[in-house]
Amino acid sequence: MQKHPELPQAFADLGIEVRFLKALQKMQFVEPSEIQLKLIPPAIQGCDILGQARTGTGKTAAFGLPILQKINPAGRLQGICLAPTRELAVQVTAELQRLAEFANLHVAAVYGGQKVATQLHQLGKKPHFVVGTPGRVWDFIQRGALNIADVGYVVLDEVDRMLDIGFREDIRAILGKVTAKHQTIFVSATLDDDIKQLARRYMVNPIEVNVSRDHLTVDDVEQSYVSVEPYDKFRALRLVLKHEKPQFTIVFTNTKHGARKLAKKLHEAGIEATEIHGDLEQRQRDRVMERFRKHQIQVLVATDLAARGIDVSAISHIINYDVPVDSQIYVHRIGRTARMGAKGIAITFITSEQGKELTAVEKLINQQIPRRSVPEFVASAGRPPMERPRSAPLSRYQAPVLSAVGEAPAPSRPKTLGSRFRPKRGRGRL
């Protein structure tokens, strides 16, 4: 193969063609990541592949490069990729479009939350590769607007999340519509029995490529926790942001309501913060992500599902304002920082009642998470005065007497006059 000194030779050695090497050079890709090193060669050969790698390791380029260079620019739809969320579908589409810039290939995205007519117009332009969420893809198949019978390449990105969300039946229905001989690639952060069972049904002798570390964590992430009571979380967060001075931060909450409330409080405190969650319309979510990618937002408050697909290399800090209900989610969260070898910091707020959750995370990642002290922050002992339970109602025989700390003493039984002061019984006069 002819060498081009100005192009990334390490990718050329894997079998990537010049038209894609030009795109990689423009994207400033120099050395392939571990998943790219191991997945690209068998993908070019046409093998079915089960790829396991943590988030942020370059999985999109790993499956995208070999497939895109095998697509015929003169043909119609030849490849499809399913993704669990709108954000990830948009991100994958944008990455594939950048990779295909010098290859005369059209990549389109279809997902919920956007007008059907707009996406039908995109499909009418006869894309070579379509990326979409399972629900919208299946909808277009049923409408007759998307025919995938003859596609030669099928990718399922973040399969574990798609199954968690509940797309199992849609995935089976979509894969069942691909009747031509095709290559199938699954990529996921984890490969459990459900995924392997799906692979056995829809793959032919798949090669397993696993570059996940045994402890499922990110070596370049500095992890720690802050001991804090629920009522004191916001004060702790403000002090962390004050002293850490993070470049860009994602603050995770477990609920949409929590994300809205926290983003509002941060904004009122003068911190440039915006929330992203499932209740936002797609155009709002796209606008938020565009601002975040352009570094116009310092703090992004996110729920787990909305954060899937966020791939912004400049994220320096992940703050778990709420401990995730599943320790696996913790791994996905902290993977949003330390992208492509960069350093990152992950801080988790732990209340006095969440020791079990912390232990579960430490068992999963096979390491102990150290406690972090935050300047100016001393976790309060017990409940604060404004959240102490109210005293029992005072007896009507007892006047409220305040103690030195401003609390009413517990009510006592009213004194009686005693038997010797009781009036004698007698007949009442008329």
**What is each CA distance from 126 to 82, 145, 235, in whole angstroms?**
18, 11, 53
What pLDDT is stored for residue 2 in this prediction? 52
Is the model's pLDDT at 398 over the cut of 70? no
pTM over 0.75: no
| % of the chain surpassing 70 pLDDT | 80
What pLDDT is stored for residue 318 in this prediction? 92
Burial class (CB in 10 A: 0-12, 13-18, 19+), 244: middle
Lowest mean pLDDT among 220-224, 282-286, 362-366: 282-286
Instruction: For residues 286-305, give the mean pLDDT.
Output: 81
The CATH number of domain 221-365, selected from 3.30.360.10, 3.40.50.620, 1.10.3720.10, 3.40.50.300: 3.40.50.300
Q: Are strands 183-188 and 153-157 parallel, antiparallel or unpaired?
A: parallel
The band of 333, judged by pLDDT with boundaries at 50, 70 and 90, is confident
Instruction: For residues 173-181, give the mean pLDDT.
Output: 95
What pLDDT is stored for residue 274 in this prediction? 87
Instruction: Quote the mean pLDDT of the chain.
Output: 82
What pLDDT is stored for residue 10 in this prediction? 94
Residue corresponding to tokens 């405190």: 269
Nearest to 398 by CA among 413, 380, 378, 383: 413
What pLDDT is stored for residue 62 in this prediction? 96
What pLDDT is stored for residue 395 in this prediction? 37
Is the model's pLDDT at 340 over the cut of 70? no
The band of 303, judged by pLDDT with boundaries at 50, 70 and 90, is confident
How far is CA 350 from its chain centroid? 20
Tell me the domain boundaries of the chain: 9-210, 221-365
Q: What is the CATH number of domain 9-210?
A: 3.40.50.300
The band of 85, judged by pLDDT with boundaries at 50, 70 and 90, is confident
Domains 9-210 and 221-365 share a fold: yes
What pLDDT is stored for residue 310 in this prediction? 64
Edge-to-edge strand list for the sheet holding 249-252: 221-227, 344-350, 317-320, 249-252, 299-302, 273-276
The SS3 call for residue 187 is strand
The band of 273, judged by pLDDT with boundaries at 50, 70 and 90, is confident
Q: Are 329 and 322 in contact (CB under 8 A)?
A: no
Instruction: Identify the residue with better confidence: 366 or 152.
Output: 152
What pLDDT is stored for residue 403 in this prediction? 34
Q: Are 251 and 299 in contact (CB under 8 A)?
A: yes
Q: How far apart are CA 136 and CA 116, in angstroms?
A: 9
Burial class (CB in 10 A: 0-12, 13-18, 19+), 328: middle
Is the model's pLDDT at 384 over the cut of 50? no
Q: What is the dihedral angle through the alpha carbons of 251, 252, 253, 258, rounded to the nearest 10 degrees?
A: 30
